[in-house]
Structure 1
Amino acid sequence: MTQRAVRTATSRSSTSEGRPAQGRRRALGYGLLVVLPLLGSAVILVSHGSRPSHAGNATTPDHAAALFFAVAVVVAAARTAGLLAARLGQPQVVGELVAGIALGPTALERLAPGAWAWLFPESALAGIGALAQLGLVLFMFGVGQEVVRSSRDRMGGDGSLIALTSFVLPFAAGTAVALPLARHFTGSAGDSLTFALFLGCALSITAFPVLARILTDLDLLHARTGQLSLFAAAVGDGLGWLLLAATLLLARGGDLASLWPKLLLALVTAVVLLGPVRIGLARYLGRGDRRPGAAFVLMIAVAGLALSSGVTSLLGIHQLIGAFLFGLAWPPQLPREVSVTPSLGAMAHLLLPFFFLGFGLSVDLGALPFTPQTVAVAGLLLAVASLTKICGVALAARFCGMDRTEATTLGLLMNSRGLTELVVLGVGHEARLIDEEMFAILTLVALVTTLMTGPGVRLFGALRKPAPEMAR
């Protein structure tokens, strides 16, 4: 015990004697390794700062900060406008769309150009455009999935007749009224044929996502009327995008002789995606015992979506056509633990406000000349779009044995165009098939037909509802 005490005392004594030396060594290390390098850096920076600097460097904005500020503004504005639209009885996507248009030259840039330039500098618009394209690709993947799901429902001959009527009748009327308008409103890359095809396609579209939201708000999602409208909208959207792809090829291919190689390559791409790729994905992802994990399935979906979009863009069609085809090829019914549709749908919903902003930047409704000719054209296209949808679908529903109330309600529901038509209009405007004035007119048509759908169905239902004393 005594020896152990002596050793302990000796150890403590040596430790206490070594602490000053250790402290001196640590202080020397701080001086050599920290203080001197900092002093050297300060000298270099001060000497460099005393030199004359370029004037442009002082005013160069922080690109990352500008992008993040713009993202914050777009997300906040879209959310606020969406909540306000919901309070007014409209789908949230309508408010988000109006917010995107208001942030562009239609309102903000016109009223406060300085604030607009500060919020959306050129350095931020490129990043916002990339986010918008990603959101559109994810959105079109979801549209393809909805087409597959709706086509699997057993709607029979009634659903087919209503679906074809909802597309063919507005398309035929649109091409008919387009011919006298072509020489005044055709874009620089289009002609009378592509203008007529595009206008017919734009008027025949029904916005599937907006329609689903309206049906949810009206408590019609699981009713026969709601199911038929979703089926018809899905089929019509599918036909519309295929027709748009052919129109883009025709516009970029020159004559029919040079169109065939591109058309053949596009057809081969579609066959590969809807044939071997679809079958292979269904077999690989549908295995019960050796199914891959959720993260790996998501990686396959994102990579395949990007690849198919890139291929169709390379062929000169549009990247959204590839995203739509890959949505058709992706297995629609996977177990919940590996299903990627909810995740990609949520991401698309988050990114779509950036598309609305990009759309709003490309259209200036305030600059639309409200001349008698413009007003007449806008009224004509609105009447053609609405009457052919409402009356045509209602008549087809009557042929299918539906009563007058259900048939008219179905026609009113199918008149909603909204987001899907705006995407189509953006594609046509980007391809220069229509000019700026027709782009603005068709935007107004899309807005008006979408805004009138929900209130129109509610008003019609209230008018058709019997009075209390008559119900007795």
Structure 2
Amino acid sequence: MRRYLGVYSFIVLAPVVVAVCMLSWLAHGSGSGAAGVGSGSGGDLQLYRLLVATSVVVGVAALGGAVARRCGQPAVVGELVTGLLLGPSVLGGIAPRAQEWLFPTSVLPHLNTLAQFGVVFFMFLVGVEVPSGTLRKSGPVGFLIGHASIAVPFLAGLLMAWWLHGRYPPAQASETAFLLFVALSFSITAFPVLARVLSERQLLRTPIGVTGLTAAGVGDATAWGLLAVVIAIVRGTSPTAASLAVVFVTAFALVMWVFVKPLVARAVARAEHNRLSRDGLCAALVCLILLSALATDRMGVHAIFGPFMAGVIMPRNSPLISELSRKIQGVTLWLLLPLFFVTVGLQTTLSTLNGAGPWLTALLITVVAVVAKMASASATALAIGGHTRREALALGAMMNCRGLTELVVLSLGLELGVLDAQLFAMFVCMALVTTAMTGPLLRRLLPASAAPGPDDHSDRLPPAKEVNRDAHLRRP
């Protein structure tokens, strides 16, 4: 034993001691070395602050989501509330120094960048979950309800925007852009959140659930197409530039559907038959998502449309795509999207709604949004026939669910200068209220449905191909 200790001390410990002494002498004797250490310490401090902020956001968001689920709400409601609590509306008002320490200005750009990656991957997952098989099952009923729940709220939002424009004029957008963007904000339905709510109510495989999911899918796809046009108009410096952006993004969608989709399908089939590296293909598909985001951003629309289209062209019923979706879903839902919620919370200042006037305006926006959505979907369902009054109202409640999709759209409006801080706060309140209404309304209108299923964290997105594959009802 003594021999081993002697050899270890001579061969290992002695060189380590000599190396430490040399480094210490160099650090104290060299000015450039001291500067390098100082620079490194600054970088380490910034990383430390970013890690602290991220860990707090993820932990608090998970707690808020758990509380929301215990209250019968989707986790997105609790996570949005926690984002508001960490923002200037609550924490900034109660303990401004603590809020400033937790989210210093040097860390905010990094949080926002990570949040944008979360939105990019979220849009890919939404595209993957567009229910192509469900669309065929529902027939024309889902299409009619989906488009009705877009058209009528769009008109109501247009009238509301015309009234709002004189009171809350945009700083950087034209009147036309403002009218179109606000009208579209009234038309949004959150397909991912609705799919999770229907899953928890065990309604996905019922006729009413299939119809509602189809209508939401149709409305989602239509709304994203309209949003591409609206953003092109907002960003375009001239009608020609806006028209070119629309032409470019339409051509991009056609290329993805006609050329890229069959290439991806063949590559996936080869990988599933072990004729192609699965890891290499998954890396290539992630690159496709990111490059699609880059392409649509450079076209003058927005980075979210490329990933959505990349998700739409993915092969359905593919184990490899399901595996990729589950892996992306895990890091997106657990890490990146909570950062998006807190960035929304940091941008939402409820104190700007000072006085009765702004709060009454927020209430009016919420009432118009709810009535337009529910009335249009319910009236269409009754006019088509085959639905009871309760079922028609339940379809209206489904279409009224706005969720995370609405928050993405509102964040774009704030970023583009279409919405000011006051209007942004009002529409965030509307998104929160309309999302929170969905579950309780469905429980009251369809009381015979089963109770919510087991606890699940993934209510911002439906489990991968839940309609077709029960194996993906759980999170990764």
Pairwise TM-score range, normalised by the shorter structure: 0.7 to 0.9
The answer to whether structure 1 residue 88 and structure 2 residue 51 are counterparts is no
The answer to whether structure 1 residue 42 and structure 2 residue 24 are counterparts is yes
Match of 1:312 in 2: 296
The answer to whether structure 1 residue 74 and structure 2 residue 57 are counterparts is yes
Query: Which shows bigger deviation, 169-178 or 418-427?
Result: 169-178
| Root-mean-square deviation (Å) | 3.1
Query: Which of 123, 127, 142 is residue 110 of structure 2 equivalent to?
Result: 127
Match of 2:155 in 1: 172
Deviation at 1:232, TM superposition (A): 1.0
The answer to whether structure 1 residue 445 and structure 2 residue 430 are counterparts is yes
The answer to whether structure 1 residue 243 and structure 2 residue 243 are counterparts is no
How many equivalent pairs are there?
442
Residue deviations 1:295-330 (CA, integer Å, cap 9, x gap): 223212210000000011111211001111111122
Match of 2:276 in 1: 292
The answer to whether structure 1 residue 423 and structure 2 residue 408 are counterparts is yes
The answer to whether structure 1 residue 392 and structure 2 residue 376 are counterparts is yes
Deviation at 1:149, TM superposition (A): 3.1
Match of 1:20 in 2: none
Match of 1:104 in 2: 87
Using the alignment, how far apart are the partners of 1:301 and 1:164 within structure 2? 32
Conserved 8 A contact 2:352-2:421:
no
Using the alignment, how far apart are the partners of 2:264 and 2:169 within structure 1? 42
Q: 1:388 to 1:44 in 2, by over 3 A?
A: same
Task: State the SS of the aligned residue for 2:300.
Answer: coil
Conserved 8 A contact 1:182-1:191:
no
The answer to whether structure 1 residue 205 and structure 2 residue 188 are counterparts is yes
Using the alignment, how far apart are the partners of 1:439 and 1:191 within structure 2? 17
Deviation at 1:153, TM superposition (A): 3.4
Please show how residues 21-420 of structure 1 align to structure 2 within 5 Å.
Answer: 33-46=15-28, 60=42, 62-149=45-132, 152-287=135-270, 289=273, 291-335=275-319, 339-350=323-334, 351-372=336-357, 374-401=358-385, 402-420=387-405
Task: State the SS of the aligned residue for 1:286.
Answer: helix
Larger radius of gyration: 1
Q: 1:182 to 1:57 in 2, by over 3 A?
A: same
Task: State the SS of the aligned residue for 2:78.
Answer: helix
Using the alignment, how far apart are the partners of 1:177 and 1:25 within structure 2? 83
Deviation at 1:292, TM superposition (A): 2.9
Using the alignment, how far apart are the partners of 1:58 and 1:160 within structure 2? 58
Amino acid at match of 1:441: M
Conserved 8 A contact 2:224-2:305:
yes
Deviation at 1:28, TM superposition (A): 8.2
Query: Which of 394, 419, 425 is residue 434 of structure 1 equivalent to?
Result: 419
Using the alignment, how far apart are the partners of 2:34 and 2:291 within structure 1? 50
Deviation at 1:438, TM superposition (A): 1.0
Using the alignment, how far apart are the partners of 1:282 and 1:296 within structure 2? 15
Task: State the SS of the aligned residue for 2:83.
Answer: helix
What stretches of structure 1 of length at least 5 have no aligned partner? 1-22, 465-472
Q: 1:290 to 1:58 in 2, by over 3 A?
A: closer
Conserved 8 A contact 1:413-1:453:
yes
Residue deviations 1:331-362 (CA, integer Å, cap 9, x gap): 22213587422222222212210100111111
Conserved 8 A contact 1:162-1:396:
yes
Residue deviations 1:193-251 (CA, integer Å, cap 9, x gap): 11111111111111112112221232222221111111111111111111111111111
What stretches of structure 2 of length at least 5 have no aligned partner? 450-476
If the length of structure 1 is used for normalisation, what is the TM-score? Answer: 0.86
Task: State the SS of the aligned residue for 1:147.
Answer: coil
Conserved 8 A contact 1:421-1:446:
yes
Conserved 8 A contact 1:171-1:201:
yes
Conserved 8 A contact 2:189-2:219:
yes
Conserved 8 A contact 1:174-1:203:
yes
Residue deviations 1:42-82 (CA, integer Å, cap 9, x gap): 34444569x9999x989957111111111110111011111
Q: 1:33 to 1:381 in 2, by over 3 A?
A: closer
Deviation at 1:134, TM superposition (A): 1.4
Conserved 8 A contact 2:232-2:243:
no
Q: 1:309 to 1:393 in 2, by over 3 A?
A: same
If the length of structure 2 is used for normalisation, what is the TM-score? Answer: 0.85
Deviation at 1:144, TM superposition (A): 1.1
Deviation at 1:427, TM superposition (A): 0.9
Residue deviations 1:261-310 (CA, integer Å, cap 9, x gap): 33222222121112211122123323464553432232122100000000
Match of 1:458 in 2: 443
Using the alignment, how far apart are the partners of 1:345 and 1:86 within structure 2? 19
Deviation at 1:148, TM superposition (A): 4.7
